[in-house]
A and B are shown apart, each in its own frame.
Chain A
């Protein structure tokens, strides 16, 4: 035994670690990796008859990569893939002209080609599919493809798009009253604007998609990560010519909403299906990095321009808000997110005459709506900006301006401009709660005191309310499905029709089911993300997905409970208790029986076993759709949300004037939680996470930087103190608001910006200065703003002195 062994102690039993092939001692690590991948590539094991099916033997597993455009806009003079096709290990190289049939991505991607042909329209647009035996040969072949671009200037931002009038469609609007006349009548008018930068989800893993033909090509299995796998299923079926029933999507779990995307994986799956058809084998698409535009999933950058008319005491009489959304070159789902922005732009303020218009701008980019709070946040933040400006001009604190303009008696307005009623008392409730629990007014005074004392670090505190519409303006997406099986031993299986977001929904469902059936949670198994069991999955973003699933689950369990009650009544009757009323039977602690029953109740297992014997169906499909939803974009009116959820937050921050860095000191949130009881842990977790997404967007994630990911907030950037209270929403389970915590808190992070306004006022910012606050407020941007403030202040001071001197001079002359 050598010394090295002894180090581990005499008793250690050294297991030699070896890879399977002992003789291949000289195999390099990379070769081994390649071999491993080939091994993994083995599929269903059955040897296929190549002649009969056209598909190759099942051990064929190819890799595909994409050649993407390096330019935002260019025409293509020449494409040549002949050298690439000769690279060893390359199966095929597909260019636009090699696509059989129409070169189109199809439904959901209007106007978008599968592969760029004569022109490229955004950086990262796919031009060629390279299919090969391994990644290395695909990479080598990609180098060999020759594309001659003739670069064009392109439209890269909203400003440019507006100047060029580069729009996708007509503007949409929602309107109440005569805005133009009302503004003209107002005592004060202000016109301003706000640009909201994009944000990137920063996926945590290298994305890949695998298309795997099974059963001699009769079915296809797709492995992908997506927020809405049923869209992938439809697309793959359409491209491959198989019925949808023959396509299975194995959806991987995502780490919360920012962990996956919706439409991007569909685009990739379509490309991969073409490759699988061409290569006649299983294909895995490998992308270079998670920040590649095809999978980056950038939000829609937004430009808001507003004109507001208000009284001297800060009552907003009328406002006109125009939103420009950067929808990229191909709008995809963008219209729905612009609609969401229009529908959230009023926030909680009852402005009597209000017009909100929105238009999609066409730029040479690719944007996405998969991030939480997309659209809603942009809309609400533009409104908050307007409030800040009114506060600045009138000199009234912003929280007072807010309170004065809430929906309700003060403003006399109780419905949104599109006609859906709001609940003024709920706004008051969350607002008063947040103000009270944070001791807001005392802290405002403390902050003032602090700011007087400290030349270098200024604090700001702000209270901000939020209204969030539960639902998607696309009504077909507002539905949920869940399957519940009761097995013969009395254990229960639940399959929610929603991808697994690893957000604790499975735990919540488990608890709900165990409460409803009165059984131990250990006997309930929730299988999240098994979407092949349902015809249509619930979208994970932009709708109140957990709320829909919970209601669908409630529907399914009611059906089953009804069956079990009937069985129980029969069992009681058999025992001679014919008086038992079916309505009184309850399920608790594994027992089934009427609430106050002198005799022994039945065991849950016993009832289930009896039900099985009596051939009662113990599989139930629960379905819930939000009733009466409609939204008419032509009219700008509708009832697009099942209801609104309300929240308010008080945020205190500290700005380091020397570096521009911001520390969030304390956050107090009052929010309406999900209507299910005792699930605060999940709500709280969701709440904080969504707030972090918003905080990163507002403060640090600057896509203009190469290393945008480095702005994603870490542990040490979290608020020093975090307090949150979850209030029960008004109404009962069936009518109350759903599960707001996945997305609504993104909007709450807007409060950081409000606090920043206040902190900057302590540096001398005043409405007389022509200063806009950057978004994101990165350290460099904040420091630049501070510098600008002192510069303009100095300038004003100088002008004042000069004017004074001049006046004295002229007085002197006159004298």
Chain B
């Protein structure tokens, strides 16, 4: 055991000794120095206290926007942390700092910090290309004192300039055949003081830390070690991304913590011809980066899930194990026919996501058992063909008081497998109707064998209505707000209607562009157009 660990903070190495395993980065910074005083106020619904964490994700070094109130200190061992203060002080001539000093974006220094961190991550993000991704990058900024139009303009300028740099670097790298490294962010194209340090990151060592109160924090490297620790410390709390857990820092006392972050086997996404197997410690952002193109409904839900800092930390394993009743992802995972792979010392077992949650708001996880991975079947044309299907339609919808950082009211996800115009199999799932996400089997059975048209859609609504009514009634012990219950009940119907109106035709699997205001938001417009000759 070691009673210390080290990390890099704003470009300087720090050794943390004996400090509480439960200490969040925000609490640590407030104690550390007056210049971090802003970190004492951070409400997560408002985006918390943003920082940048430099970390290795498999072989790719990445700067990720994180929320300092949602990070426990030992999670940061061996990582690099840049605070907004550090970013602005280290290199005043960095494009991000220059952009921020040339306009009125926000009132208040703290808020400027949130903007600086979000802009900084965007600057180093290799996949940020189109204006439509802007909301995704800045959705943790929740304040009425933000001047959104000028933030958009300034960010577009910064992102365009960095795209240009990337294009130039890619052209240069073409000769050596390493251009792919540029596009995937595995090559340092900036060579500034931030990226140079980032690219020096080495693989993390395992961590066995004990704090002043003899509480332990383990970060094993292998699955074998993880299972051993789990056996040795059955009372220990597993921690994945920690976005849910860290919120309770100071309120709940965990004896020992075991982090799954460092376990190689859990950090992998295996892309097979038929399926993706997503390790339970992979962050939601990485999942969206990998499968988002082929599975746009996943990417779409991601845009409304928490905020960028949350998605950068949260993992699928953590999401499932905590069984968030209003979680947006569970219905989609059900509609995608995903399975959860569980592992314990007794062996492996698996279950469809719809059967992973139990009726009381918990899960089927046994003591000593962990979520190893989630297997999501792909639905390429050839795969559909082999099953005799002609099309698969899938979509998911989430609603909330606002777009981000909110507990959604109801999320619905629907999938249909069609033979010509006839529904062969259907998946209809919701969350937000009770303690667990539900699959409405009656409606699915009703749909099977029917032609997918408006009449069928109307005919299934009473079935949905009845099931939703029963579910909400069962949950009404806790729900005393009649109006809210009525709204949820309505949404069960209307989300399915929306699904029909956006996908009325089996031939057009892509949704008709009804909700996204492409022409107004210029969502597909790239920040930097590669076709224009480089100057």
B partners with A: yes
A784–chain B nearest beta-carbon distance, Å: 7
Q: Is the CB of B6 within 8 A of A5?
A: yes
Q: Which of A14, A507, A720 has the most CB of B within 10 A?
A: A720
B360–chain A nearest beta-carbon distance, Å: 23
Q: Which of A15, A501, A717, A784 has the most CB of B within 10 A?
A: A717
> A793 at interface (Cβ–Cβ under 8 A)?
no
- Bound CA span A6–B16, Å: 15
Partner of B407, one of A657, A663, A685, A707: A707
- Bound CA span A456–B212, Å: 60
Within 8 A of A (CB), among B114-143: 135, 138-143
Partner of B409, one of A16, A666, A719, A779: A779
Q: Is the CB of B107 within 8 A of A14?
A: no
> B479 at interface (Cβ–Cβ under 8 A)?
no
> B45 at interface (Cβ–Cβ under 8 A)?
yes
Q: Is the CB of B78 within 8 A of A709?
A: no
A702–chain B nearest beta-carbon distance, Å: 7
> B515 at interface (Cβ–Cβ under 8 A)?
yes
- Bound CA span A666–B149, Å: 12
- Bound CA span A25–B17, Å: 9
> B449 at interface (Cβ–Cβ under 8 A)?
no
Within 8 A of A (CB), among B162-221: 200, 202, 204-205, 207, 212-213
Interface string of A253-275 (1 = CB under 8 A from B): 10110110000000000000000
B455–chain A nearest beta-carbon distance, Å: 15
Q: Is the CB of A692 within 8 A of B146?
A: yes
- Bound CA span A397–B160, Å: 43
Q: Is the CB of B144 within 8 A of A256?
A: yes
- Bound CA span A33–B40, Å: 12
Q: Is the CB of B107 within 8 A of A501?
A: yes
> A780 at interface (Cβ–Cβ under 8 A)?
yes
> A682 at interface (Cβ–Cβ under 8 A)?
yes
Q: Is the CB of A779 within 8 A of B401?
A: yes
**Chain A hits for B403, CB < 8 A:** 714, 716-717
Interface string of B104-115 (1 = CB under 8 A from A): 111111110000
Within 8 A of B (CB), among A372-417: none
Q: Is the CB of B145 within 8 A of A259?
A: yes
**Chain A hits for B404, CB < 8 A:** 714-716
> B520 at interface (Cβ–Cβ under 8 A)?
yes
> A457 at interface (Cβ–Cβ under 8 A)?
yes
Interface string of B1-43 (1 = CB under 8 A from A): 0101110100011111111101100010001100000000101
Q: Is the CB of A27 within 8 A of B212?
A: yes
Interface string of A709-748 (1 = CB under 8 A from B): 1111111111111100000000000000000000000000
Q: Which of A204, A702, A778 has the most CB of B within 10 A?
A: A204
Q: A17-B14, A17-B16, A702-B401 are known contacts. Are A665 and B520 too (CB-CB below 8 A)? A: yes
A677–chain B nearest beta-carbon distance, Å: 17
**Chain B hits for A514, CB < 8 A:** none
- Bound CA span A712–B401, Å: 9
**Chain B hits for A685, CB < 8 A:** 104-105, 147, 150
> A244 at interface (Cβ–Cβ under 8 A)?
no
Q: Is the CB of B20 within 8 A of A29?
A: yes
> B491 at interface (Cβ–Cβ under 8 A)?
yes
Q: Is the CB of B104 within 8 A of A17?
A: no
Q: Is the CB of A15 within 8 A of B107?
A: no
**Chain B hits for A456, CB < 8 A:** 497-498, 501-502, 514
Q: Is the CB of A204 within 8 A of B110?
A: yes
- Bound CA span A665–B522, Å: 11
Q: Is the CB of B147 within 8 A of A713?
A: no
Within 8 A of B (CB), among A1-38: 2-9, 12-19, 25-30, 32-33, 36
**Chain A hits for B45, CB < 8 A:** 707, 709-710
> B433 at interface (Cβ–Cβ under 8 A)?
no
> B355 at interface (Cβ–Cβ under 8 A)?
no
**Chain A hits for B351, CB < 8 A:** none
Q: Is the CB of A15 within 8 A of B497?
A: no
Partner of A12, one of B13, B135, B498: B13
A812–chain B nearest beta-carbon distance, Å: 34
> A191 at interface (Cβ–Cβ under 8 A)?
no
Q: Is the CB of A206 within 8 A of B148?
A: no
Q: Is the CB of A718 within 8 A of B148?
A: yes
Q: Is the CB of A502 within 8 A of B212?
A: no
> B367 at interface (Cβ–Cβ under 8 A)?
no
**Which stretch of B282-290, B339-347, B482-490 is in the interface?**
B482-490
Partner of B142, one of A253, A457, A660, A712: A712
**Chain B hits for A660, CB < 8 A:** 399, 487
Q: Is the CB of A454 within 8 A of B514?
A: yes
Number of interface residues of A (CB under 8 A): 86
- Bound CA span A707–B45, Å: 10
**Chain B hits for A692, CB < 8 A:** 144, 146, 148
Within 8 A of A (CB), among B469-504: 483-484, 486-487, 490-491, 494-495, 497-498, 501-502
> A504 at interface (Cβ–Cβ under 8 A)?
yes
> A656 at interface (Cβ–Cβ under 8 A)?
yes
Q: A15-B14, A259-B108, A722-B149 are known contacts. Are A657 and B141 too (CB-CB below 8 A)? A: no
Q: Is the CB of A710 within 8 A of B406?
A: yes
Q: Which of A18, A684, A710 has the most CB of B within 10 A?
A: A710
Q: Is the CB of A714 within 8 A of B402?
A: yes
- Bound CA span A720–B207, Å: 46
Q: Is the CB of B104 within 8 A of A25?
A: no
Q: Which of B144, B149, B400 has the most CB of A within 10 A?
A: B144
Within 8 A of B (CB), among A733-774: none
**Chain B hits for A700, CB < 8 A:** 401-402
Q: Is the CB of A681 within 8 A of B103?
A: yes
Closest to A718 in B: B148
Q: A29-B23, A779-B401 are known contacts. Are A659 and B15 too (CB-CB below 8 A)? A: no
Q: Is the CB of B144 within 8 A of A693?
A: yes
Q: A8-B13, A454-B514 are known contacts. Are A721 and B494 too (CB-CB below 8 A)? A: no
Q: Is the CB of A15 within 8 A of B12?
A: yes
Q: Is the CB of B150 within 8 A of A714?
A: no
Q: Is the CB of B402 within 8 A of A712?
A: yes
> A801 at interface (Cβ–Cβ under 8 A)?
no
Q: A8-B13, A659-B494 are known contacts. Are A684 and B78 too (CB-CB below 8 A)? A: no
Partner of A504, one of B104, B135, B207, B517: B104
**Chain B hits for A202, CB < 8 A:** 144
A190–chain B nearest beta-carbon distance, Å: 28
**Chain A hits for B414, CB < 8 A:** none
A504–chain B nearest beta-carbon distance, Å: 5
A654–chain B nearest beta-carbon distance, Å: 7
B307–chain A nearest beta-carbon distance, Å: 8
Partner of B146, one of A15, A504, A654, A715: A715
A375–chain B nearest beta-carbon distance, Å: 19
Q: Is the CB of A666 within 8 A of B520?
A: yes
Q: Is the CB of B483 within 8 A of A780?
A: yes
**Chain B hits for A205, CB < 8 A:** 41
**Chain A hits for B14, CB < 8 A:** 15, 17
Q: A457-B514, A715-B141 are known contacts. Are A658 and B401 too (CB-CB below 8 A)? A: no
A509–chain B nearest beta-carbon distance, Å: 14
Q: Is the CB of A684 within 8 A of B401?
A: no
**Chain A hits for B104, CB < 8 A:** 503-504, 507, 681-682, 684-685
> B441 at interface (Cβ–Cβ under 8 A)?
no
Q: A259-B145, A710-B407 are known contacts. Are A26 and B401 too (CB-CB below 8 A)? A: no
Task: Jot down 9 A-B pairs with beta carbons below 8 A, ordered by A.
Answer: A13-B13, A17-B15, A25-B212, A705-B401, A712-B402, A713-B402, A716-B135, A717-B403, A721-B521
A255-B107, A658-B495, A716-B135 known; 11 other A-B pairs, CB under 8 Å? A29-B20, A29-B23, A32-B31, A255-B106, A456-B502, A657-B494, A665-B520, A685-B104, A707-B45, A707-B406, A784-B490
Q: Which residues of B contact A (CB under 8 A)?
A: 2, 4-6, 8, 12-20, 22-23, 27, 31-32, 41, 43, 45-47, 77-78, 103-111, 135, 138-151, 200, 202, 204-205, 207, 212-213, 250, 303, 397, 399-407, 409, 483-484, 486-487, 490-491, 494-495, 497-498, 501-502, 514-515, 517, 520-521
